[in-house]
Chains A and B, each alone.
Chain A
Amino acid sequence: MSTLKEIILQHITWRRQILLLAKADIIKTYSGAALGWAWAIIKPVITISVFWFAFTYGIRSGHSVNGFPFAMWMIPGFMAWFYMNAMLTKGTTAIRNYRFLVTKMKFPVSTIPTFFSLSNLAIHLCLMVIVCLIFIATGNFPNLYWLQIFVYIFLMALFWTSWALFASMLGCMSKDFVNLIKSLSTAVFWLSGIMWDVNTVASDTIRHILYFNPVTFITTGYRNCFIYHIWFWEQPLQLGIYLGMLVVMIILAVWSYRKLIKEIPDVL
C-alpha cells in the first residue's frame, strides 16, 4: 500500500516533467522522418485498408453487421488495438529504452511507463478523431453514446499503463520476457474479438473466458458506442470482470515495482 502511495506521489510531484517527456517521446519517434507526424496516421490507415479490403471482397464478402458495413464495424475496435498493441509489446521495453533516466540521473522510474503511455495515447486520440469523422462522413452523427468513449479511454489507459509498469520492470531483468510478450501479441489479437464479435460465441464457458481478456472489453466497448448503442453499465458482468482485472494489474505493477526498483539500476 505504501508503495502505491509512493508511486502516486511521484506522479504528482513530477507531473510537469511527465508531460514534457511524453511530448519528447512523440517528437523523437517521428522527427527525422520526412513525413514526420504523418507516419503516426499512415500505418494504421494502411492496416485498416488492407483488412477492409480482405473482409469486404474476400473472407466475409460484404456482410453488414447491425446495418453497418463490416469495415465500419471493425474500425473502432481496431483503433483501440493499435494503442493496446503498442503498450503490450513496446511497453515491455519502456524503461529499458529510457535507461539514461535510470542509470545517469535521479528520476522516478515509476513515471517512465506513464509518459510512454501518454505519448501513445496522444496518437490514439488523433486516430479516434479520424474515426469520429469517418462515422460523421457516412451519416452517423454523434449521439450521447459516443460520450462513453472517454470512459473507455480512461479505463484502457489505466490498465495498460499499469501493465507497462509491470512489464517494463520485468523487461529490464530479462530479454526473454520481452520476446515472449512480442510473440504472444498475435495470439492476443485473434483472441480479442477485434475481428469478430465475442458476444456471439455460443459456448458460455468460452465466452466467459474471453471476457477476461482486457482487450476484448475495450474493443467491444468502442463498438457499443458507435455501432450497438449500449451503455457500459448495461453489461455489468463484462464491466465487473474488467475492473477486477484492472485491480489485479495494478497489484502486479506495484508488486514488480517494489520487488525490482532497487535492482534495476544495477542490471541496466
Chain B
Amino acid sequence: MDNNREVVVELKNVVKKYKLYKNDKKRFLSIFMKKIPYKEMRAVDDVSFQIRRGEAVALFGRNGAGKSTILKMITGVTFPTSGEIFVNGRVSALLELTSGFDPELTGRENIYLKGQLIGLLDKEIAEIENDIVEFAEIGEYIDQPIRAYSSGMKARLGFAVNVNIHPEILIVDEALSVGDKAFREKCLKKVRHIIENDGVTLLFVTHSTGTAKEFCNRGIVMKKGKMTYDGDIDHAIELYEK
C-alpha cells in the first residue's frame, strides 16, 4: 500500500476496560460511592495501528477478541479507557444488523432522519432516496414502521443506507453475512464499487476468510484483546485459522 496517503484512522495504545458489577444496583451505587467492588475485563489491550485512505483492512479474531469494541470506538459510539483514537472522515458504520433505526418511524422517514443526522440536506437525501429503496429491495414496506420489518429487511435497508450516503470510511461488522446469497453478492459488488471508484476506506470484520481475501490486502488478527498480527492478508488468515 502506498505509504504517502494520509492516515484516516489511527489508534495509539488503546485500552478498553469494562467494569463488571455484580448487578445493576451495584452499578448504580458505584456512581455515588467509590468502594463498590467490580471485576475488570480488558476487551481491548494496548492496540495501536494506522489505516491510510483507500485501504481495505480485515479484522480477524474469535468471539470476544475485541473486534467489535475496536469498531465501536472508531465509530465514536464508545470511548477508550486510555489511549488515543484519531479519525479523519465521515464514518459510516454497520454495527450489528439494525444499524441505528428508529423502530417507530417508517423506512422512508428513517432514511431522511439518518441522512439529516449525518448532515446531508433534504435535497441531497432526495437524490439518493430512490437508490436506497431500490437497493434494499423492500418495495411497499418502505412506508411501514421499521418495527414491522423482518430482520433481513432491516439489515438490507441498513446496508443500503450506509453505502449510499457517500461514506469516506466504511465500517462493516459481520453485516455482509446477512440476507440470501443473491443479496450478499449484490452487497459485495457495491462495496467493491465504492472502494474502487470513491476511494472509500474499508474496515471489515468477518469470519469468512474468503470474502476478506477478496477485498482486503491487509489483515489484523486479534486474540483476547491483544493484536497478535498486522500485515499481509494471506499470513493473517493463516494465523487466524490455526
Cα distance, A173 to B95, chains bound together (Å): 22
A260 contacts B31, C-beta separation under 8 Å: yes
Cα distance, A155 to B118, chains bound together (Å): 31
Choose from B78, B98, B114 the contact partner of A266 (Cβ within 8 Å): B78
12 contacts between A and B (CB under 8 A): A17-B117, A20-B116, A24-B102, A27-B105, A32-B104, A104-B95, A105-B93, A105-B99, A106-B76, A173-B27, A174-B28, A260-B31
Choose from B76, B99, B105 the contact partner of A28 (Cβ within 8 Å): B105
Choose from B18, B25, B118 the contact partner of A174 (Cβ within 8 Å): B25
Cα distance, A17 to B113, chains bound together (Å): 9
Range class of the B interface residue count:
20 to 34
Cα distance, A32 to B25, chains bound together (Å): 37
In the complex, A265 has a CB within 8 A of chain B: yes
Residues of B within 8 A of A256 (CB): 31
CB within 8 Å of B: which A92-132 residues: 98, 100-107
A262 contacts B116, C-beta separation under 8 Å: no
A16 contacts B28, C-beta separation under 8 Å: no
Residues of B within 8 A of A20 (CB): 113, 116
In the complex, how many angstroms separate the beta carbon of A13 from the nearest chain B beta carbon? 10
Residues of B within 8 A of A103 (CB): 77-78, 95
Choose from B27, B100, B116, B118 the contact partner of A104 (Cβ within 8 Å): B100
In the complex, B152 has a CB within 8 A of chain A: no
In the complex, B75 has a CB within 8 A of chain A: yes
Q: Which residues of B contact A (CB under 8 A)?
A: 18-19, 24-25, 27-28, 31, 72, 75-79, 91, 93, 95-96, 98-102, 104-105, 109, 113-114, 116-118, 145
B77 contacts A265, C-beta separation under 8 Å: yes
Cα distance, A103 to B71, chains bound together (Å): 12
Chain A, Cβ-Cβ closest to B94: A104
Cα distance, A100 to B79, chains bound together (Å): 16
Range class of the A interface residue count:
20 to 34
B99 contacts A24, C-beta separation under 8 Å: no
Residues of B within 8 A of A265 (CB): 72, 77-79
Q: Which residues of A contact B (CB under 8 A)?
A: 16-17, 20-21, 24, 27-28, 32, 98, 100-107, 170, 173-177, 256, 259-263, 265-267
Chain B, Cβ-Cβ closest to A177: B28
A105 contacts B77, C-beta separation under 8 Å: yes
Residues of B within 8 A of A24 (CB): 102, 105, 109, 113
Given A28-B105, A173-B27, A262:B117 Cβ within 8 A: no
Residues of A within 8 A of B95 (CB): 103-104
In the complex, how many angstroms separate the beta carbon of B76 from the nearest chain A beta carbon? 4
Choose from A104, A107, A170, A261 the contact partner of B99 (Cβ within 8 Å): A104
Cα distance, A32 to B77, chains bound together (Å): 31
In the complex, how many angstroms separate the beta carbon of B144 from the nearest chain A beta carbon? 10
Given A16-B116, A17-B116, A28-B104, A106:B75 Cβ within 8 A: yes
A106 contacts B77, C-beta separation under 8 Å: yes
Residues of B within 8 A of A102 (CB): 77
